[in-house]
Amino acid sequence: MKRHHALAPALLLVAGLVLTGCGDNPDDAKQDDPAAAALTVARDYQRATNELNWRRACELSTSQLRDGTVDECVAFHAEPTPAATATASASPTETFEPPRYADGSTVQPRPRPTRSGPERAMLGPVTVEGEPIEISAYGDHPAGYGVMLAYTVTWPSETTTSRKTLRVVQEAGSWRVDQRKDVQDSDMAHGDPIRDTLNWG
């Protein structure tokens, strides 16, 4: 009987330490913080996009952003195979009138990034600018968190900084990217680039 009485306080102490340890775990607090969760998803999405990891990027997108299933999203972003490119080149071309600005000048298409070649710039690590902020619903986009990210873009002749804003919302119980926008210098000058681009841009 004495042995049982001696063990009881020790067992209670161990149980108390386990419960206390779970409550003080910083990882638990981070999981309960929606802003931190939204930030993690936004950063992972941008990293996947920069690395052309379309499977991961599409998985982190809402159904509205990817405009279809994950597999359809991946297929849309995949680079064409050499055979497909040759077939397209051999087929008759249709007359295409490029879009023009109001002054009549031609809009130059932006180069599509590829895994190699002179048109592929070197992208720096993705960093967070500022804190995630709550943003209201806008159009078809539900309310959620706005996040601004940045990374350097290095070409053979210059290095620039690219900034993106992402709207992160909850879909089926998980945080997903629902909207993405490029941030211009004029947006930065206004002082509220996240809302300016996601709710007004």
Q: Indicate the domain borders of the chain.
A: 33-92+100-200
The pLDDT tens digits for 135-180 are: 999 999 999 999 999 999 999 999 999 999 999 999 999 999 999 9
29 burial level (CB within 10 Å; 0-12, 13-18, 19+): exposed
How far from the centroid of its chain's Cα atoms is residue 114's Cα? 19
- What residues contact residue 162 under an 8 Å CB cut-off, 6+ apart? 150, 151, 152, 153, 182
Q: For residues 178 and 65, is the Cβ–Cβ distance under 8 A?
A: yes
Residue-level pLDDT at 88: 42
CATH code for the part of the protein at 33-92+100-200: 3.10.450.50
Q: Per-residue pLDDT averaged across 180-190, rounded?
A: 92
Q: Per-residue pLDDT averaged across 70-86, rounded?
A: 73
Which of 180, 151, 179, 177 has the alpha carbon at shortest distance from 163? 151
The pLDDT tens digits for 11-37 are: 333 344 333 444 444 333 345 799 999
Amino acid at 41: V
Q: How confident is the model at residue 121 (pLDDT cuts 50, 70, 90)?
A: confident
Which of 114, 106, 105 has the alpha carbon at shortest distance from 80? 114
